[in-house]
Structure 1
């Protein structure tokens, strides 16, 4: 069995406990306006073009078998429409200006890479995190990989948008030591506007996994223009109040995805959001904590 992978990063410290290896799977049903890994959205292979590395030698044109795609590597949008996806241009480029994103890997191949870090996992309490993209969009591969990791006693985590079939989440739950559950918005209209999918399915899956005994950590993205308000703070406190034992951490929006869109030849897919300051996140977190305390003590 193979899965679509676009990166494997070692020595990660922000994707669960301890030192971790994060396996990024390619393909996601969401189209978040703030996505920091836009190259993960499509399951198909893609090309990143690093304009500053290009020396104009023309080797890519000579390697390209698609007549309509030749001499268009500096026009990334046009290249995307006409490219046949063979990546011969990336293989031929002498400066690394063209990078192929996406590869098929078997469970065994992923495990071979992961095993090299087992000693770090053991000493730090770490393990492997499946991220994306959306791991649940490749559920059969994800499930097989979870089973292989569990057989070898490796701690497992899944970073998920919460979108997918409920039955898949419940099947994955016993094999998942930690769920890193993204909260993108708790306003149904805004959620659908900025991700392309309805909010209800995410919440249904979250509550079902929690009822099934899942160890869940909410990861709430924080964009001042969308989230720094009383309505979102109240909705987040309400959600936490109904999820006993679940905690939340706040993920600051950043603009790294914008440069990746340029390399993919894609336009910006949303408004120009502002990254928050640490103080803004601290204040918002304190606000949610205060509201949650009031709900749990009945002191409104």
Structure 2
């Protein structure tokens, strides 16, 4: 077998552990063909000396916001994926975002293809954010997108006026996704609770960064997580609860998993360690507290 490239002198890490030293990686036509000792080489074989470094599979970041129309970020597809590759991430999954006035998914999907095509340094795919899951979209468009575009996941929201779905819409979408084998991600917070609190805080001029935490109490996440799980259970659909941050929500998830329900969850370090007291920092007219709130918000939502 002719090998185009051989990577030598590295320590290979697989899902089962670190392989014994001295093994090399043989690459043919841009794919790993062999792992072993004394791999055959010819004068045209390119040799890469890993110099004792660890060689790991490329990372997959399955929750990325890049050039999203209703969630502006500092990164474009070019800068974001260049940073990803620099950190060892070779695949990203970003979000195509439908807005409520859109009655079809195809134009916005083409728009996002236009943003990413020839702009990415790594492999990529899309999740679809559904904010207006009409009967036509669920029964006619989603099957086409799943089959022809390879998009196998959608994201739904239980909060934010621009995104929030009713319980009936959640049920209908979960059922449609279940029939297509799609993964459904859910942002689980009680939007009505949060809006009620925000209105009261603003009415009393409580708008300093610390009140960001007051407007989104744990109970809003706990209630919505429980409701999302029960809705999913009713239609026997798997769900992934995103950016989990409360112990109450985690308890609901563990209880569901104990009952062997297909309920999954993800979190990030800032949800676990960036506590509300960081927002109460009043130095420089709340500037430092605002930085804490910005970190939490831009990393988690939408």
More helix by share: 1
Tell me which structure has the larger Cα radius of gyration: 2
